[in-house]
Amino acid sequence: MNMSLNAPLKWARLLLVLALFAAPALTMIPKQTKADSPPSVTLVAFGDSLTAGYMLPPGDSFPSQLQVALAAKGYKVNVINAGVSGDTSAGGLQRLDWSMQPGVEGVILELGANDALRGIDPSLTKTNLEKIISKIKQKGAAILLAGMKAPANWGPEYQATFDVIYPELAGKYQLALYPFFLEGVIGEPGLTMDDGLHPTTKGVAELVKRILPQVEALVKQIQDRKAAATATAKP
């Protein structure tokens, strides 16, 4: 009789001991989802009014809409707005150092529209962009170069000399190139403001949709580089 009464207690004690031994084992199971999740990335959108969001609410600017679009794709990316309205390639070069704060891992470089509008010598624009690219690369950040095209009013010779700047630089420095930042937007009713140049909120959305695949590639490149560095650092 005593054995039958004590049996459940013995089983309970045995189960408790097994549970205590099992608990540490459970805590040792790696949380692969967290460990394997891609690292976050910090990008700078470095440009002029087309980047800054001329006449738009801050949340409708190119960097803001791009960050939202990347988040919708599952990327954890902080896109810093380093656009200054009216900026030329020379102005961008002057302010680059304080725009490239520590922790910036990638740059979307969009400059040159104001150079072309003012008829600045394309050789000067190219030199300034080269210096900007060199400085960014020295800081170890990846670059997506956004191209620009000259307006027709300066003549075909100026256009040809200016437009070739971006593919030449992309080839020389082995950069990812988005050939024309305003592709599909410039001059389109509803996508640009009355000046026919600056994008509306819908225009920015179109810009983001078109450039997004190349920005994704930039982000993946940075993530892969960070993952490789982390793996190398492990003992």
Of 41, 186, 40, 59, nearest to 113 by C-alpha is 186
pLDDT at 142: 98
Q: Which of 48, 49, 89, 163 is catalytic?
A: 49
The whole-angstrom separation of Cα 129 and Cα 134 is 9
pLDDT of residue 39: 79
Task: Using the CB atoms, write b or e for 127-136: b if 16+ within 10 Å.
Answer: ebbbebbeeb
Eight-class DSSP state of 192? B
DSSP β-bridge partners for residue 79: 43
3-state DSSP assignment of residue 88: coil
Residue 235: predicted pLDDT:
66
pLDDT (0 to 100) of residue 2:
44
Instruction: Compute how many other C-beta atoms are within 10 angstroms of the C-beta atom of residue 146.
Output: 29
Residue-wise pLDDT for 170-229, tens only, equals 999 999 999 999 999 999 999 999 999 999 999 999 999 999 999 999 999 999 999 888
For residue 59 the two structure tokens come to: 């949340």
Domain ranges of the chain: 2-33, 38-233
Q: CA nearest 43: which of 2, 75, 91?
A: 75
- Residue 228 is predicted with a pLDDT of 85
Query: Domain 38-233 adopts which CATH fold?
Result: Rossmann fold (3.40.50)
Mark whether 195 is an active-site residue: yes
pLDDT of residue 230: 76
Q: What is the pLDDT of residue 36?
A: 59
Residue from 87, 89, 198, 224 carrying the catalytic annotation: 198
- Distance from C-alpha of 224 to C-alpha of 221, rounded to nearest angstrom: 5
Q: What pLDDT was estimated at residue 153?
A: 96
5: exposed, middle or buried (Cβ count in 10 Å: 0-12, 13-18, 19+): exposed
> Which residues of the chain, if any, have pLDDT below 50?
1-12, 14-35
